[in-house]
Structure 1
């Protein structure tokens, strides 16, 4: 590892010397251009021409690899319906799958350097959020594009003050849509492919003198679409508001509120089987056959969320600052789904409610009592997943000239209710398909019987605290060295009437702890050239599923951990902006499960092995003047499992993006292409001739997913108070395989064209 880090630092030093020679000849930005704030965030970037037009850039003050995505890119270049994963996709080392119903019209999952969703944090104005059974995310249910001013992809754990359940594989940091000083109204209307309607309305109050300079922004977004996939209709309504209230010259209050409602048709286990793809095409998902498990009326979901943040920023003494963010958010998913949407409907001659004849094999059968016979029917289930989270983040920063000390704490508590109940989708009667489960004699309710229609009925809670301290030292001008430390306590509890998997009553509690050291450094060699390095420990607590076991006392599991080494360089010239980095990450304590051979012990979780992540990344923008610029970024990413020595599943070996940008006068134009390199999956259910996948020679059940591209083009013209434009996603109509789960395939959604008109007052 020392050899690896030495090579990284030597490489960075060589690049720094080369860039420094060029920097000496490049004009430094004027004082008016220095220390500009990247739209809406606290990220400081130099306001050079390439940074003003670049879709992604990095701060000279960064201490880890970073991509800052501007509001202008979000607004001008990508679909208005895009979720935050689609925005983050422009960054190097970021890939995603999902979104197969159209951009933002179904959930997507992002990967960073091969780390999967749940292995990195997502925050909004510094507040981490995510599911409570594991820290995964729902990309289109909290913060659609109309609520995001700036997005920053930090490819690393950050400093000690970077918070989240998965301080492990990186961070996607979203920053709230900002109130402006000027009064204004903006209305956006669009229509396009898949019969998609979208509308946005934004009201900016401007600074209100009668209220001491208070200003606020209110936004609404509505989306209604048939979707790219068959019978997968989608509707979304989002409301958002933010107010900034100056209490005094030293104290400011900020309030954020959002509410979101998504209604759509989709199987809970979506994706099409090979047989369905071959018979009906890549856009097949649901049908209009009322005698089938994939009938769209039997597969529907309603998701409602809200999120509230109250933040206090105060100067409490000379050179001393205090911030406190109190928050709460809710997620509620109510789903009706067929048991297996890949199965065909009732066969000819089958009648719902009639006994299944001897010798007939079919999945379309249900059972209306524990002792009754199986009859023809449509098996399905209801699902609830609802949680409410409460938290508070407090930080104090004291600047003493040659350094600054930041200390703080994060407290969070949540309650979750989850259930699944099997029913016949035709009659809505309970389906006693499963066997009865008898609670063990040593359990909470010895001998209690769980009926066959019950999958689980479970309450759980999470208590999470983190305390941190970091000391930023400035031994001489241009150099900052920041050691830090963070302590984590993470407690999970289950109080289940019928626990998931075991299907009987259980009360279980587990606590996990970790102490994480950090060390970062940044040296600004000149006013527009900096190098940086980072050492950091990462942490990921075990998911709630590790408590779905008969004998939790037998599962002795440590949190997953990562050790990160990174180094890089950032250069902001008058025409050229670039940054480059290299990284090496050692991931340990991977979670695995096995079934004990001893009766009654069931599934046991343990730690074993891990993976090694190594790679290089870079991004650059060159501005020609008169509004023209070109940009490119890319990465080479290695993610090798320690046990198999193979690239881990769903981790692309490379990414790249490039494009042409023009922004001058009334015209805005961009043409951008994103490349996702080859990736692999291990799957025993696909056979030897899977669709568009290449079997890996010499490795059983191992398949290669071919690289694919997604090109986007956007153009608009400003006529004054009206702007008209067109946005095209997946310009070349690529519909390649992007993921396989079990035996179900997922494809790019294909070309999506949207015309938009924006009116400003």
Structure 2
């Protein structure tokens, strides 16, 4: 018995009127309602061609480039895997996973745009961080619950609730509760002590209105494949769904995800790759025993137990127990669609999100630091005894997590008016209100150098009574600020059919209004992100309002401040589809993208001569994206190809700092590289050769060119003009074969080739290409055990054990270069870039059943 049932769909008309068969991959309920086909227009096993071949490709009909996958394909992948990795076969997208099971995050590139510039939504709810727009791929929905996932390459939907989608959108939707009661159980065991269990219970229809619901939970735990430490993930989900008839419905869903992860040491250069030797985090670290009257320095005298078991003296900064990434994230999502009249529909998508997370941290501080004793230069023998030895002459290590706590409220609503069968108008409104609290409440360690709480001294989450208190009762903070990121957006869209449904036109625009409220509670170094959180009294106040402290010399500090910045634009989004004959369509689209400055980027003010504060350095990024494509849909064949061009202005590059000794470790550091021109081709094809054999292939070409040199000073420039974007492969190829070998046994083999990638803006270092192949096999056990949907599945990722570097910590230059554009020579030293080691061959076996 084949448990992967293929469902072939076809429309009775060329495209079923103005509505698209691929609508479920859209972002909001309003967009789905605008695009979807009415039920009466759909037949099963028709002769117009399949809507999907084994779930790897879906027949899209919208006037933009989009690729989608379904649960049929998702279920073949490693249980618990992040949906971003599962999407990695689609054209235009390149995802580099940080470990074999997906719980350690990864890096997204979509047509050359990094994840901070790609909108990720979950049932229409925006997931990008409100502070830096980052995507946290390890915090996504359990794959068993994902009905469908899609990628809009380069464009957004007209009502997209995003502040950052200059590069496109990625969206996935939750499956509905089942109409029959039942339980689904999946368990898995794999290499690196991998263990996972997933349990889902469906109520079936109950009550007088046929309400349905499900609840689910999962638990995952495994060791890092490289170095000491482990990763643990717990997730809970629930959904309540009410069919109201005539296409009306209401839905309420809940999601909670808890991660407790140790970071990998990703400080690996090309030389490490060539030699096969890679850095690891320390197994243990023992700080010196406090002794009264003698100096202990935990930054230089701690005993380290290295990954190979050898000993070294130094700091505990590389101890794996401090290189952690705890997160607690959740959301509540509502979806509502109701026909007010026969031709007027209201949709509403309210949401609430909660985030508590940090990236660990270790800092040493002197017991006579002025932030503790407020002594103004440490005169008079003041200080605070931090290690309890009775003196104040030591340097002590403390746990300094950068906590981020977010409460985010959202609503997207649409009014959809069907003027007649061929013309539709939609008006949409979006509000996205994020309260973003960023703190760094330091605490002490346990005797074995573990944090007393992963959240330090965070109120309500950590150990507040073990904060590092100063003489005046204040406590040491590495940062302390509060931000509000607000988006108000209106959108209009017209969809029309012409020439007997041969031509469909979409004309839309959205007008976002962004507001960023900044509240900095620490002193800020002028023109820098460096802060000094202190209650000490400044020794002087300058004429421009800046202050200085006795312990920091002439460094100027801006006193705590509040500021509000606003941005707005009008962003057109238009497209056309032409269907010259049955099964063929030509489309073209244009969309303008806009990325408001990241909230985190704005905390770098400069004091002006008049005493005010300037935040002018960070400007919005914009894109103008054009696509033209062709689609074919035949009885057993789906194919699409698109050529595209993007003009990208005022681009800012953010790269992850992976050096544990840096104060910016695990944070993004901004570098501006000006305008970029990009063009390329994305293509994919799915072919059901027989009832038991299916093929999928995709290919992408990306040509990018930076238009300007980067100014380093008034007379020196980084020679970036004419260079290509970092971490962006020119070519990618992917493919998959599905074979139903017997009625019970199905086999799959897939592979992806990623071309060379530049690691620096001047393209003076190249990370080599790689190919990773995965294998999966499932055997149906329904008849064997007489249990519905029982199966055993084997997944082997990176089956040929390719060794490669995945995520790249990009930079300006890797070698020494001349940065003087004139006849003179001004050398700029370079630094070889680093990357994360790709996961080795990994096998996991899972058992699933329904009852």
Q: Aligning the two structures, in what range does the TM-score lie when normalised by the shorter sequence?
A: 0.7 to 0.9
Contact 2:602 2:618 in 1 (8 A): no
CA distance in structure 1 between the partners assigned to 2:432 and 2:180 by the alignment: 37
Residues 400, 40 of structure 1: CA spacing in aligned structure 2 closer, same or farther, 3 A cutoff?
closer
Contact 1:556 1:606 in 2 (8 A): no
**How far does residue 283 in structure 1 lie from its aligned partner after superposition?**
7.3
- What pairs with 1:244-393 in structure 2 (closer than 5 Å)? 244-247=241-244, 249=246, 251-266=248-263, 271-272=267-268, 281-282=277-278, 284-290=280-286, 291=303, 292-338=316-362, 375=394, 378=397, 381-393=400-412
**How far does residue 752 in structure 1 lie from its aligned partner after superposition?**
1.2
CA distance in structure 2 between the partners assigned to 1:649 and 1:333 by the alignment: 28
TM-score by length of 1: 0.80
CA distance in structure 1 between the partners assigned to 2:769 and 2:273 by the alignment: 20
Residues 261, 32 of structure 1: CA spacing in aligned structure 2 closer, same or farther, 3 A cutoff?
farther
Residues 423, 649 of structure 1: CA spacing in aligned structure 2 closer, same or farther, 3 A cutoff?
farther
CA distance in structure 2 between the partners assigned to 1:273 and 1:592 by the alignment: 21
Helix, strand or coil at the partner of 2:569: strand
Match of 1:760 in 2: 850
Contact 2:602 2:615 in 1 (8 A): no
Which of 230, 243, 249 is the aligned partner of 1:233? 230
Match of 2:122 in 1: 124
Superimposed CA distance per residue, residues 497-553 of structure 1 (whole angstroms, 9 cap, x where no aligned partner): 116524351212111111111211112233421111001111100112332223242
Match of 1:345 in 2: none
- What pairs with 1:722-737 in structure 2 (closer than 5 Å)? 722-737=790-805
Contact 2:336 2:348 in 1 (8 A): yes
CA distance in structure 1 between the partners assigned to 2:50 and 2:10 by the alignment: 12
Match of 2:616 in 1: 555
**How far does residue 142 in structure 1 lie from its aligned partner after superposition?**
3.9
2:54 is equivalent to residue 94 of structure 1: no
Contact 1:57 1:68 in 2 (8 A): yes
2:695 is equivalent to residue 634 of structure 1: no
Q: How many aligned residue pairs are there? A: 664
- What pairs with 1:118-197 in structure 2 (closer than 5 Å)? 118-197=116-195
Which of 397, 400, 406 is the aligned partner of 2:416? 397
Match of 1:746 in 2: 836
2:566 is equivalent to residue 511 of structure 1: yes
Contact 1:142 1:306 in 2 (8 A): no
CA distance in structure 2 between the partners assigned to 1:674 and 1:274 by the alignment: 21
Contact 1:146 1:221 in 2 (8 A): no
CA distance in structure 2 between the partners assigned to 1:135 and 1:469 by the alignment: 25
CA distance in structure 1 between the partners assigned to 2:367 and 2:444 by the alignment: 10
Contact 2:9 2:51 in 1 (8 A): no
CA distance in structure 2 between the partners assigned to 1:627 and 1:458 by the alignment: 59
Superimposed CA distance per residue, residues 170-224 of structure 1 (whole angstroms, 9 cap, x where no aligned partner): 110111122222333211111001110011112233333x331211222222101
Residues 30, 326 of structure 1: CA spacing in aligned structure 2 closer, same or farther, 3 A cutoff?
closer
**How far does residue 272 in structure 1 lie from its aligned partner after superposition?**
4.8
CA distance in structure 2 between the partners assigned to 1:183 and 1:37 by the alignment: 29
Contact 2:404 2:438 in 1 (8 A): yes
**How far does residue 289 in structure 1 lie from its aligned partner after superposition?**
3.8
CA distance in structure 2 between the partners assigned to 1:260 and 1:136 by the alignment: 17
Contact 2:359 2:402 in 1 (8 A): yes
2:648 is equivalent to residue 587 of structure 1: yes
Residues 583, 273 of structure 1: CA spacing in aligned structure 2 closer, same or farther, 3 A cutoff?
closer
CA distance in structure 1 between the partners assigned to 2:320 and 2:367 by the alignment: 21
CA distance in structure 2 between the partners assigned to 1:88 and 1:68 by the alignment: 8
**Which runs of 5 or more structure 2 residues have no equivalent in the other structure?**
1-7, 26-31, 287-302, 304-315, 369-381, 452-471, 533-558, 607-612, 655-669, 709-720, 811-832
Helix, strand or coil at the partner of 1:474: strand
Superimposed CA distance per residue, residues 346-377 of structure 1 (whole angstroms, 9 cap, x where no aligned partner): xxxxxx999xxxxxxxxxxxx97699998565
Helix, strand or coil at the partner of 1:163: coil
Match of 2:765 in 1: 703
Q: Rg larger in 1 or in 2?
A: 2
Which of 661, 667, 671 is the aligned partner of 2:738? 661
Helix, strand or coil at the partner of 2:89: coil
- What pairs with 1:344-743 in structure 2 (closer than 5 Å)? 375=394, 378=397, 381-401=400-420, 402-420=422-440, 454-476=477-499, 477-498=501-522, 500-503=529-532, 504-551=559-606, 552-553=613-614, 555=616, 557-591=618-652, 609-643=674-708, 644-663=721-740, 665-682=743-760, 702-720=764-782, 721=787, 722-741=790-809
CA distance in structure 1 between the partners assigned to 2:51 and 2:253 by the alignment: 29
CA distance in structure 1 between the partners assigned to 2:144 and 2:282 by the alignment: 30
Residues 237, 171 of structure 1: CA spacing in aligned structure 2 closer, same or farther, 3 A cutoff?
same
RMSD: 3.5
Please, which moves more after superposition, 520-529 or 45-54? Answer: 45-54
**How far does residue 718 in structure 1 lie from its aligned partner after superposition?**
0.6
Residues 94, 286 of structure 1: CA spacing in aligned structure 2 closer, same or farther, 3 A cutoff?
farther
CA distance in structure 1 between the partners assigned to 2:731 and 2:392 by the alignment: 54
Contact 1:370 1:451 in 2 (8 A): no
- What pairs with 1:78-117 in structure 2 (closer than 5 Å)? 78-97=77-96, 99-117=97-115
CA distance in structure 2 between the partners assigned to 1:118 and 1:511 by the alignment: 20
**How far does residue 156 in structure 1 lie from its aligned partner after superposition?**
2.4
Match of 2:216 in 1: 219
Please, which moves more after superposition, 492-501 or 191-200? Answer: 492-501
Contact 2:338 2:345 in 1 (8 A): yes
2:62 is equivalent to residue 62 of structure 1: yes
CA distance in structure 1 between the partners assigned to 2:154 and 2:242 by the alignment: 34
**How far does residue 461 in structure 1 lie from its aligned partner after superposition?**
0.8
CA distance in structure 2 between the partners assigned to 1:374 and 1:653 by the alignment: 57
**How far does residue 725 in structure 1 lie from its aligned partner after superposition?**
1.5
**How far does residue 135 in structure 1 lie from its aligned partner after superposition?**
1.6
Superimposed CA distance per residue, residues 600-639 of structure 1 (whole angstroms, 9 cap, x where no aligned partner): xxxxx99873111100111011111122011111111112
Residues 582, 502 of structure 1: CA spacing in aligned structure 2 closer, same or farther, 3 A cutoff?
same
TM-score by length of 2: 0.72
**How far does residue 332 in structure 1 lie from its aligned partner after superposition?**
0.5
Contact 2:98 2:806 in 1 (8 A): no
Residues 250, 452 of structure 1: CA spacing in aligned structure 2 closer, same or farther, 3 A cutoff?
closer
**Which runs of 5 or more structure 1 residues have no equivalent in the other structure?**
1-26, 341-351, 355-366, 431-448, 594-604, 684-698
**How far does residue 146 in structure 1 lie from its aligned partner after superposition?**
3.1
CA distance in structure 2 between the partners assigned to 1:256 and 1:169 by the alignment: 28
Residues 454, 239 of structure 1: CA spacing in aligned structure 2 closer, same or farther, 3 A cutoff?
closer
Residues 30, 162 of structure 1: CA spacing in aligned structure 2 closer, same or farther, 3 A cutoff?
closer
Contact 2:584 2:630 in 1 (8 A): yes
Residues 592, 75 of structure 1: CA spacing in aligned structure 2 closer, same or farther, 3 A cutoff?
closer
